[in-house]
Chains A and B, each alone.
Chain A
Amino acid sequence: MTAILFIYGLIAAIEWRYTRTGKHNKHSRLLIFGFIALLLLLSELLYLIKLKFQLAEPIIAIFNPLEKLLK
C-alpha cells in the first residue's frame, strides 16, 4: 500500500521536474498528473481487493466463451 504510494510519489516528483524544464504548459501538466493520480488510484484499488477480485476474472468471463467458440 504505502510502497505503491511511495513509488507513484517518486514518479510524480520525477515527472514534475521533467515537465517544468520541458515545453509543457499548464494544461498538459494537468493531464499528465491527472493520469498518474488515476493510475495510482487504480493500482491501490486493485491491490486492496486482490484477494476478492483479480483482473483475470472478467477476462475469463468475457473471452472464454468466445475462445471456446473459435476452437
Chain B
Amino acid sequence: MKGTSRETQSAPVGACPPTLELTPRLEWFKERLDRCYDAVFHTFTIGRGLPCVLIYFQGMFDYLNAEEHLLMPLLRESSERVDEPAGLFDEHRIPLARTIVIDDPDEAIKQVMMGHGVLLQENEAQMLVLPFVSYETRALEEAPNESVIRGPREAFVESLDTNLTLLRRRIKSPLLKTERLTFGVHTQTSVILAYLEGTCPDRLIREVKRRLANIRIDGVLGSSYLEEIIQDSPYSPFPQLQYTERPDTVSASVLEGRIAILVDNTPMILLAPVTFFMMLQSAEDYYQPFIAASWIRWIRFIFLSTSLLLPSFYIAITTFHPEMIPFNLLISISSSREIVPFPALMEAAMMELAFEALREASVRIPKSIGQAVSIIGALIIGTAAVQAGIVSAAMVIIVSVTGIASFIIPNFDLGLSFRLLRFPMMLLAGMFGIFGIACGIILIYVHLVNLQSFGTPYLAPVTPRAARSLKDTVYRAPWWKMRTLPFMANRTNRLREIANMRAWASSEGADDE
C-alpha cells in the first residue's frame, strides 16, 4: 500500500554497511543525499568523545527547537558528568516527547525527507528521529469558494496536520478515527482517512481502502489524483466524490457516516459517498432558518433544471413548436429574431460558447483586470451583438439566465457537468424539438439512476426511495426533527437525537404560574 518497496529498489546506492561505527554509516547517508544542497550533517560529540551526527533538511527541520531542547541539554550534561559513558538510547534520557527510535537506515532517509531530523550515534545501531517539522504554511482563511453568511469562516489549508486539527477540534470523540496512508513513490504524500467508527459502515471503509490499495503512482499533488482513480464510473460527467474546503461540512459529513479523505498539500477534502442531492446542499442551509433553507433548496432545484434545459427549450419551441408561445410573446420574440441570420440552434450555441469562454477567462486572468473583462464581455459584447443583429435580445436573456442558474448549484463540479450536458441537449432540441429534449432527459436520468458512488445509488433517497432521508433532501427539516441520520450511516446506529427536544413547549414554564 505504501509504495516503499519500489523506492528502495530504485536507490542507486547499495545497502547501508552493517556496522556500528559512525563514519561508514555517515558516508552512506551522504552518498544517498549526494548533490542535495539543502541536506545538513551536523556532527558533534557528547559525553567522553562519543561522536553523533544530526541529519536534516535545511528549511524543513526546526533546528532551533532541536538545539534548545535536545542538543543543549545533552552537551550540558556531558560536560557535567564526564565519567559516565553516555548513550542516547541507554535510558530514557531524551527530554522530549514524540521521539521515535528506528534502526532501518532507509526508513531514516524517509524521515529526513519528511522534514524530521535523524540523530546517529557511534556504537549504536538505533537512530533517533526528531519530528520537529517547521516550514511555512498558509494561515487559516475564509473559504474562498464556499462562503457563507452565518456559518464559521475557517477553511482548510494545505497542511495536513492543521486540517486534521480543524476536524478534531470539531469532533471531540475517540470514535473519530484517522488512519494514515502514504501515496506517491517520490512525493510520499500522506493521506488520512477520517471516519466516525460505528456510524460509518465498515463496508464503506473497507471499500475505500480496497480501492486505494491499488494505487502506485509517482506523485500525488492533489486530492483529484486519487478521486479519478477511486470513483465508480470515471467516464461519467457527474462528480462521484464531493470535495469541500469547509471543516464544518466535513465534520457534518463524518457525523452522518461518510468518510473523509484528507490529502497533504491540498485544502480540498474529499468526501465519499456522495449523492446528487448532497451536492445541492450548501453549508449555509444548516445555519439559516429551516424555512428559508428549504425555500432556497427549491430555488436550486428549479434553477438546476433551468441551467440544463432553458436554452434547449427555447430552441425547440422557436424552431419546431412556435404555436406554443403565447401570441404576444411570439410577436416580440419573432420581431427580435427577425434580423438574426442564424437558426436558433446556431445562435444559442454561439452565445453559450461565448459565455463559457467568458467564464473561463474570468477565472484564469489576474484579478486586477478580471473586472474589466467581465464588464466588456457581459455588457459591451452582448449589447453590441444585439444591435449588430448577430444575436437576438431574447437569446441574450436566455443565455444570461442560464448562466446565473448554473452558478446557483453549490457544487462547482456538478454545475460544470450540467453546463457540459447543456450542449448535447441543445443539439437534440435543434434536431427533434421537444421529443429530442425528452430523449435527452431520459438518457441523463437513466444514467443518474444507475450511477453509484461507493455503492450508494446516486439519486438516493429519491430513487431508490429512503423516505426517512428525504427530510434533508427536498427540504431541510428543523433540527429538532432530524431524528435519524441519512441512509448512508450504519444501520444500527442511526439515531441522531432524542425525540422531544421541544418538550418544553408543551409543558408549562415555571414563571408562567
Are A and B in contact, CB atoms below 8 Å, in the complex?
A: no
A: residues with CB less than 8 A from B are none
B: residues with CB less than 8 A from A are none
